[in-house]
Amino acid sequence: MESYAQGESTPPLLEETIGANLERVAAAHGGREALVEVATGRRWTYAELDADVDRLARGLLAAGVAKGDRVGIWAPNCAEWTLVQYATAKAGAILVNVNPAYRTHELAYALQQSGTSLLVSAESFKTSDYRAMVEEVRSSGDALPLERVVYLGTDEWTTLVSGGDDLPETALPDRMSTLEPGDPINIQYTSGTTGYPKGATLSHRNILNNGYLTTELIDLTEQDRLAIPVPFYHCFGMVMGNLGCTSHGACMVIPGPGFDPTVTLRTVQDERCTAVYGVPTMFIAMQSHPDFGSYDLSTLRTGIMAGSICPVEVMKRCVEDMHMAEVAIAYGMTETSPVSCQTRTDDDLERRTATIGRVHPHVEVKVVDPASGGTAPRGETGELCTRGYSVMLGYWQEPEKTADAIDEDGWMHTGDLAVMREDGYTNIVGRIKDMVIRGGENVYPREIEEFLYGHPDVEDVQVIGVPDQRYGEELCAWVKMRAGAEPLDADAVRAFCEGRLSHYKIPRYVMVVEEFPMTVTGKIRKVQMREESAARLGLA
């Protein structure tokens, strides 16, 4: 049997724009709570949210923002981020998500490459002085397309919001009537591990439906309250979080500007949240919190864990200790809006801990032999490809890179190594780039990581390949210890593996670390780990 699967055709796709969808849901659930910002205590009903979105959208029109213009947002999670997301969609502008961790070089590239003319920015976040960085970029002499910067919490923001108050009543409906579901609405820069990031360009149809279908599969309704500690600038926050909620009339709860385990646990308790999102490192941080047992998480029912592979033990604790009996694993990438595979709420624990689920509605997936391009038999490793409504329009103004990623038949090549089981459920075994070839043997770090999670003193672990003169590559494990545990050395790790893993899968090197280098979205930067390991071990 071939490694190919096609998703259900129900529920039907939403053939409307993001703005039209918000108006329809607000009309049906106007009095229900739509948005809560815990840090400031501000709250919006759906009627209030839609009205504030309209006012900001009119402000954008008055500021001269035309359909298709790029409007950037550079800020941590806050209510204004959400308002800008929906206001740009109603105005037909293309929202450019700027990573809060960017420095001047990356900021300049994103603004230049996207052609951003208006930037909405926070003044600062953590150690980043955004205002100073924007001024540095603007005064660098490079010809930026940027015409106006509006800082949140200042008179500039108030002026932008109120700028459209004198426009005719018909101005915004007239603009919305020109918009189509297939129009580009969002540029998200993928955190490339090499070279400049690429701007995945997504439409109303892409992200509205992906948010809607992802949350359909966890049975989200207008009764639900979702804690969203994952970043808005990434698909997890703005699509699976915000659009997942607004397409169902559910409530978006923003615990804080960035992830904090204490704040997130307290938010779930105090706001009586029924769902929470996170990458595995976030769930590990919450479950390892010294006061974890003192928080009342009994209102939780579901949530989604995504962003990187989920350790079995962490998933079990979500179900048993966090009351998330219906938690789902979701898999995807920015270029596919993002989700293309997900577990279902009635899946048994094995499927929800050992796989990334099965194909999403209205999507096709297949596993292909990277060498021949032919569809692999079920049970064999190959590259995961996906096709359907969710595949991006392309990389912004980069047709050659788009053609490298999306083939002539519309299949998006993910670069992930996967195995499709006989039951159609799929497992990711690594990145094509992460696969270690040791003495001719293909080694998938994921398998060794799962095994080492079983060590009682190990809190988290990542395995990479490092250069080796004899075997080409050798394995190196980065290990994060549990609180109070004695650090492990290579001998102790080898002793734990001996007789239980094939000799060529046993790490030769072990490095005990406090943390792993990561992108802001919680993806481990294995390229950086390889470089650091080779340098520290004298293998470069």
- The string of pLDDT tens digits covering residues 288-333 is 999 999 999 999 999 999 876 677 788 889 999 999 999 999 999 9
Compute the average pLDDT of residues 125-136.
94
Helix residue ranges per DSSP H, 322-410? 349-354, 399-405
pLDDT interval class at 49 (50, 70, 90): very high
- What is the model's pLDDT at position 431? 80
Q: Where are the domains of the chain?
A: 45-180, 434-536
438 vs 164, higher pLDDT? 164
- Higher pLDDT: 302 or 371? It is 302
Name the token pair of 512.
Answer: 């005990």
pLDDT in tens, 9-39: 999 999 999 999 999 999 999 999 999 999 9
Q: How confident is the model at residue 160 (pLDDT cuts 50, 70, 90)?
A: very high
To 5 degrees, how large is the angle CA 322–CA 334–CA 466?
Answer: 85
The band of 193, judged by pLDDT with boundaries at 50, 70 and 90, is very low
Q: Is 247 helix (H, G, I), strand (E, B) or coil?
A: coil
73 confidence band (pLDDT: 50, 70, 90):
very high
Distance CA 419, CA 376 (A): 9
| CATH number at 45-180 | 3.40.50.980
User: CA–CA separation, 308 vs 280, rounded Å?
Assistant: 7
CA-CA distance, 535 to 199, in Å (whole number)?
A: 32
* Other C-beta atoms lying within 10 Å of the C-beta of residue 106: 16
Nearest to 178 by CA among 61, 271, 297: 61
Give Cβ neighbours of residue 41 (< 8 Å, ≥ 6 apart): none
Residue count of the chain: 540
Instruction: Say if CB 539 and CB 468 are below 8 A apart.
Output: yes
What CATH number belongs to 434-536?
Answer: 3.30.300.30
Instruction: Give the residue with greater pLDDT, 377 vs 490.
Output: 377
pLDDT at 140: 84
Tell which residue, 170, 205, 214, has the closest CA to residue 186: 205
* pLDDT at residue 444 is higher than 90: no
Q: Mean pLDDT over all residues of the chain? A: 94
Distances (CA, A) of 496 to 131, 436, 446, 457, 465: 51, 21, 17, 11, 20
Output the CA torsion sign for 44, 92, 248, 210.
negative
pLDDT, tens digit, 9 for 90 and up, residues 482-537:
999 999 888 999 899 988 888 889 999 999 999 999 876 667 888 899 999 999 99
pLDDT of residue 281: 84
Q: What's the confidence (pLDDT) of residue 309?
A: 66
The 10 Å Cβ neighbour count of residue 329 is 22
pLDDT at 520: 63
Q: How wide is the angle at C-alpha 433 spanned by C-alphas 371 and 304, nearest 5°?
A: 110
Predicted local distance difference test score (pLDDT) of residue 192: 53
